[in-house]
């Protein structure tokens, strides 16, 4: 067992227990989200250098300040921990809510100042200290002060049920700084792009596609969107229109549980990798269902993509 020192008090941390779980067990009110090392909502600082695996995706500056993800660190020694002052949320106002499908909400937030981000990044939205969830930005960074999200409704989902049923226009929502490196890069506008998303995994991919087209991307761009049924292909009309407008953009909708004359019957990732057996020189973007993302990372590599050209965001659910 090790001892955690926090705000001049001592807490126990059992062997194999994470710092976050130990503190929550002893009723310390720490914020957290995914508990899987992705959202960074649980970031703290320590008096000693944290192990590398607890600093995944933190910036060089955060690493040098001994910041770490409390949901990842299972310490074997005593540690003094402190809150991270710079872990900032800024308030944004709800200016639009509309349904993209029966269970996907389009939520638009407005900031007082322009909100800087890269297409494809995600933020944490805070309902309360205990309910912080990650959502990908579906809009492009045109230096405006609005951002758009696609939120899937979950049965008993604490955030999504609240966003669908209680959040109203004019409400104020705390939003974290943008995070993640599944982003469009203006270096290599001639590279071919393969994008595969399931469900609301379309949100970041839509932002990336629009950003690429707005930057005059000259390589081929092919987006595969998968869902159980055609209602889940919630941007079909818009994406079809884009594919008619831009010669280098293709869109394929895929459904797994419905017979269709319009859409491919089967999984989006199976269809995509069959169609593109040679991904040498391609950039691949994978977002949505964690199982799909895991299988597709491997397949993209086997089809010839470099690891450094495979970008992904697995939409893991909170544990
Ligand atoms: C990087 C990243 C980006 C993301 N981007 C998006 C996005 O753009 N759009 C989007 O819709 N989602 C996105 N997500 C997922 C999102 O963060 C939430 O996990 C999701 O919206 C569910 O949150 P919730 O509060 O509604 O549901 P939760 O309350 O977290 O519950 C999720 C599901 O688990 C079930 N559940 C909860 N507790 C238990 C339990 N104890 N036992 C069994 N089942 C339980 C619930 O019934 C529900 O069905 C992203 C996730 C990550 C990590
Ligand atoms: S990274 Fe720790 S709770 Fe999400």
| Ligand 1 close to Cβ of residue 290 (< 6 A) | no
What pLDDT is attached to residue 234? 98
CATH superfamily of 89-176: Translation factors (2.40.30.10)
Is the shortest distance between the CB of 317 and ligand 1 below 6 Å? yes
pLDDT beyond 90 at 314: yes
- What are the pLDDT digits (tens) for 251-270? 999 999 998 889 999 999 99
Please determine, for residue 85, whether its predicted confidence score (pLDDT) is greater than 80: no
Judged on CB neighbours under 10 Å (0-12, 13-18, 19+), 201 is: buried
In short, whether 134's Cβ falls inside 6 Å of ligand 1 is yes
Please compute the mean of the pLDDT values over residues 214-236 and round it to a whole number. Answer: 97
Q: Give the CATH fold of the 193-314 domain.
A: Rossmann fold (3.40.50)
pTM beyond 0.85: the answer is yes
2-83: CATH topology is Ubiquitin-like (UB roll) (3.10.20)
Q: Is the CB of 136 under 6 A from ligand 1?
A: yes
What spacing in Å lies between the alpha carbon of 69 and ligand 2's midpoint? Answer: 6
**Ligand positioned closest to the Cα atom of 41:** 2
Quickly list DSSP for 250-315.
EEEEEESSS--SSSEES-HHHHHHHH-S--TT-EEEEEE-HHHHHHHHHHHHHTT--GGGEEEEE-
Q: How far is ligand 1, taken at its centre, from the CA of residue 318, in Å? A: 6
Which residues' Cβ are closer than 6 Å to ligand 2? 32-35, 37-42, 69, 71
Q: Which ligand is nearest to the CA of 58?
A: 2
Intervals of CATH 2.40.30.10 along the chain: 89-176
C-alpha of residue 106 to centroid of ligand 2, in Å = 25
Q: Tokens 């884009």: give the residue.
A: 242
Question: Which one has a higher pLDDT value, 319 or 260?
Answer: 260
pLDDT at 87 (0 to 100): 63
Residue nearest to atom 3 of ligand 2 (CA): 35
pLDDT tens track for 165-209: 999 999 999 999 999 989 999 898 999 999 999 999 999 999 999
> What per-residue confidence (pLDDT) applies to 44?
95
- What b/e sequence results for 263-278 when a residue is b if at least 16 CB atoms lie within 10 Å of its CB, and e otherwise? bbeebbbbbbbeebee
What would the pLDDT profile of 267-297 be if each residue is shown by its tens digit?
A: 999 999 999 999 999 999 999 999 999 999 9
> Which ligand gives the minimal distance to the CA of 55?
2
Per-residue pLDDT band for 86 (boundaries 50, 70, 90) equals: low
pLDDT (mean) for 222-235: 97
**21-58 pLDDT tens trace:** 999 999 998 888 888 898 888 999 999 999 999 998 89
CATH 3.10.20.30 domain extents, the chain = 2-83
């Amino acid at each position: 067992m090790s001892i955690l020192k926090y705000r001049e008090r001592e807490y126990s941390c059992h062997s194999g227990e994470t710092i976050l779980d130990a503190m929550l067990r002893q009723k310390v009110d720490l914020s957290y989200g995914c508990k899987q090392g992705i959202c960074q909502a649980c970031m703290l600082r320590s008096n000693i250098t944290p192990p590398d695996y607890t600093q995944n995706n933190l910036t060089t500056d955060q690493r040098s300040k001994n910041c770490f993800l409390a949901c990842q660190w299972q310490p074997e020694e005593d540690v003094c921990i402190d809150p991270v002052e710079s872990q900032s949320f800024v308030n944004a106002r709800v200016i639009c809510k509309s349904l993209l499908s029966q269970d996907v909400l389009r939520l638009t937030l407005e900031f007082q100042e322009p909100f800087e981000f890269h297409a494809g990044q995600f933020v944490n939205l805070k309902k309360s200290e205990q309910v912080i969830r990650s959502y990908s930005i579906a809009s492009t960074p045109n230096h405006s002060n609005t951002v758009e999200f696609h939120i899937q409704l979950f049965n008993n989902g604490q955030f999504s049920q609240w966003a669908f049923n209680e959040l109203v226009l004019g409400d104020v929502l705390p939003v974290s700084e943008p995070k993640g490196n599944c982003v469009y890069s203006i270096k290599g506008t001639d590279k071919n792009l393969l994008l595969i998303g399931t469900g609301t995994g379309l949100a970041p991919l839509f932002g990336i596609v629009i950003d690429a087209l707005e930057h005059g991307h000259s390589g081929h761009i092919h987006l595969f969107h998968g869902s159980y049924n055609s209602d889940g292909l919630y941007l079909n009309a818009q994406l079809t229109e884009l594919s008619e407008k831009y010669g280098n953009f293709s869109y394929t909708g895929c459904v797994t549980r419905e017979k269709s004359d319009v859409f491919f019957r089967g999984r989006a990732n199976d269809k995509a990798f069959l169609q593109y057996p040679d991904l040498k020189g391609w950039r691949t973007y994978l977002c949505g269902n964690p199982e799909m993302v895991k299988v597709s990372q491997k397949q993209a590599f086997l089809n010839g993509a470099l690891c450094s050209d495979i970008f992904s965001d697995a939409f893991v659910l909170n544990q």
